[in-house]
Amino acid sequence: MSNTENFDREIRTTAVDFSFGELLNLHNDKEIVIRPEYQRLFRWTNEQRSRLIESIILGLPIPPIFLIEGEHGVLELIDGLQRTSTVLQFLDHSSINEPQLILSGCDILGSLNGLCIDDLSTTARLKIKRTPIRATIINKSGDSFVKYEMFKRLNTGGALLSAQEIRNCSSRMVEGGDVFYDAIQEMAKFDPFIQSISKLPDTFKEKRADEELVLRFFAVTLYRDKYKGNIEEWLDSLMEDTLFGRIQFDLLERKSHFEDVFTVIEEKLSNSAFTRFNPDGEPTGRLAPAYYEAVVATFSVRLDDLRPLPPAIIRDRLQVAFNSAEFRAATGPGANTIEKLGQRISIVTKQLCDE
């Protein structure tokens, strides 16, 4: 770092070895906070959790965890929740409001299968409690951007969290970020929106793809000129510029417009707004993001023109737009460019508005 005025933004850390017994006591005393907003508590299967316990008993090394120092020195767990929660569940399931962990799928120490903590020998129980895990503590910093970036970089590329889950977690590192993301979640529960995106697979929704579509709505309607061809970076930049006040974003006004747009989309097109049509004119397949962007951008700008039109007319015009050679060319190879995005929106707008 060449600019010395930025030295105060460096992350300062302390490395500590906690035993799992100490982590349990700290958690029970509320000196370590495990917030489910940071990671879904148990995406791991029962077998994955069981094998972690088996690894600890075998004496295998356990990857480190990361905590951030908050107000009054209270530590928040921001990376390693799966590992920590698994051991806490096994040692004292009531401490994290989870059912007792019964081991299964242990393939080295098969005798562990079917056992809970009370079934283990005193030696095995004490070994789990006394096993150390390296904890890196991010020392308290007033710089929200540093904390935000730190969480994002720790988790980017991990298999446990989707890009939108990382946005959910990292936004809560910033003052007011919880208000912003709670509003995103509320919009994702708006019934006309739910109905219109019903062709989004449930497996996608489990990783917050519905919330990502809300963010994508604002990206394509407010932030299109910032698109550089990478969807993830585009959505990240929109959220960051909003959270750190780099762009104006009136949350109540934007939420109201979002609801107006999706009320009309659902009324006119139901769940056929963002998907292909087969030769019989029926919507087919799952929701296509490129189609979604074109339609929501059109409705956002031309809502007053489209609101009076009968659903049948809008549906027929949309089918013509989607089936056109121009639209297919704009959604084929090389579709992730600002030029192709603009073409898709233009084609749908001209067809729906009969221009």
Domain segments of the chain: what residues? 4-141, 163-352
Confidence of residue 6 (pLDDT cuts 50, 70, 90): low
Phi, psi of 322 (to 5 degrees): -65, -35
Confidence of residue 333 (pLDDT cuts 50, 70, 90): confident
- The 3-state DSSP class for residue 68 equals strand
Q: pLDDT by residue (tens digit) across 224-252? A: 999 998 999 999 999 999 999 999 999 99
Instruction: Write down the pLDDT at residue 335.
Output: 82
Cβ distance 136 to 66 under 8 Å?
A: yes
Count CB atoms within 10 A of the CB of residue 268: 22
Lowest mean pLDDT among 33-47, 54-68, 79-93, 204-218: 33-47
Q: What are the tokens at 186?
A: 């509320």
Instruction: Write down the pLDDT at residue 2.
Output: 44
Lowest mean pLDDT among 45-54, 60-69, 224-233: 60-69
Instruction: Write down the pLDDT at residue 207.
Output: 82
Q: Quick one: which of 195, 233, 189, 237 has its CA closest to 214?
A: 189
User: Could you report how far apart the first and last alpha carbons of the chain are, in Å?
Assistant: 55
DSSP bridge partners of 138 = 13, 68
Alpha-carbon distance 263 to 299, whole Å? 11
Alpha-carbon distance 257 to 263, whole Å? 10
Angle value at C-alpha 136, between 134 and 139, nearest 5 degrees: 150
Q: Mean of the per-residue pLDDT values for the chain?
A: 88
Q: pLDDT by residue (tens digit) across 93-149? A: 999 888 999 999 999 999 999 999 999 999 999 999 999 999 988 776 656 677 677
Cβ distance 156 to 166 under 8 Å?
A: yes
Confidence of residue 81 (pLDDT cuts 50, 70, 90): confident
DSSP bridge partners of 283 = 277
DSSP, res 324 = S
Instruction: Write down the pLDDT at residue 4.
Output: 43
Instruction: Write down the pLDDT at residue 3.
Output: 46
Q: What are the tokens at 300?
A: 């956002």
Give the percent of the chain with pLDDT over 90: 65
DSSP H helices, 31-143, are: 46-58, 81-91, 122-130
pLDDT reading at 254 higher than 70? yes
Q: What are the tokens at 74?
A: 């209270």
Instruction: Write down the pLDDT at residue 212.
Output: 96
pLDDT reading at 7 higher than 70? no
Distances (CA, A) of 223 to 101, 181, 184, 218, 260: 47, 18, 16, 7, 19
Q: What are the tokens at 127?
A: 């070994």
Count CB atoms within 10 A of the CB of residue 49: 23
Instruction: Write down the pLDDT at residue 154.
Output: 63
Instruction: Write down the pLDDT at residue 143.
Output: 66
Phi, psi of 306 (to 5 degrees): -90, -25
Q: What would the mean pLDDT of 330-340 be, rounded to a whole number?
A: 88
Alpha-carbon distance 10 to 37, whole Å? 25
Instruction: Write down the pLDDT at residue 63.
Output: 87
Q: What would the mean pLDDT of 10-20 be, rounded to a whole number?
A: 83
